[in-house]
Amino acid sequence: MKTVAIMSKPSQPELERVAPEVVDWLKHHGYEVLIDQETGSYLPGHPPVPRDELAARKPEFVLVLGGDGTLLAAARALAEAKIPVLGVNLGTLGFLTEVSLSELYPTLEAVAEDRCAVEVRGMLHCHLMRKGERVAHFDALNDAVIHKSAMARILEVEIRVDDRFVANYRADGLIVATPTGSTAYSLAAGGPVVSPEVGAFIITPISPHMLTHRPVVVKDTRVVTVLVIGTAEEAFLTVDGQVGIPVFEGDHITCRKSVREVRLLRHADRTFFDVLRMKLKWGER
């Protein structure tokens, strides 16, 4: 029997109706259904599986019901196992969860009939070095962000690419994003939209204190190193907006292409630019 797993956004009112309906649909179409604890809160009597154990059960794909944040968490958990993810948007904008609720069942039909495309998205690997020791490491689908706390003073960082000096930025923070993450925080901070098939990293300062400090795009074969020169009382490294760790003066954050990749199930006839027009309301042709 084919297996599908469901991961859901917590406290989403629509799921009280949607979760039971989609489980019934999947079972009717011959799937064994695994659910995480968040989905289990809407399905009494259906035993949940911890999220960190879902990949080991080897589902054919994972259905994410929520927003981009839920999909980012799923992507990091499933990337090593190379399990495809189908994102259904129950949130707001949703560049990754591009399937709307009204498209849910036609899209599931397309998946069952092998009519969906699988798009491979690269990830960013970063590790934090402190006094010559690696104290943390992460994989990100969207971005790694070094930023100050809300009340702190300016953050100063030195940027190097392949150990060659680029610039010192004095800013509220710095983003190193993948092309997938180019439509997330980097875009809000003034960075460019980069098509996901482009092998690149986007280095975007957040509210720089010099107008000449602009976003920079480099090949993802390069290694980007950020040295924290001066911090305020509090600064943090945040990965995909979800995982965070404090950083201090003298810390090095090294970013390179991850060996892991995320597989997204997509409409075969919908391009990246179709999604941009739809989400950013660029208008029809």
Show which residues are catalytic.
68
Tell me if 143 sits within 8 A of 185, measured CB to CB: yes
Q: How far apart are CA 254 and CA 160, in angstroms?
A: 9
Name the burial class of residue 167, with classes exposed (0-12), middle (13-18) and buried (19+) by CB atoms within 10 angstroms of its CB.
middle
Q: How far apart are CA 116 and CA 110, in angstroms?
A: 6
Q: 120: helix, coil or strand?
A: strand
**Angle subtended at Cα 129 by Cα 125 and Cα 131, rounded to the nearest 5 degrees:** 175
Q: Which of 283, 284, 275, 282 is nearest to 97 (CA)?
A: 275
Q: How far apart are CA 236 and CA 190, in angstroms?
A: 21
DSSP single-letter state for residue 191:
P
Q: Which of 93, 102, 38 is nearest to 64 (CA)?
A: 38
Residue 58 in tokens: 């080897």
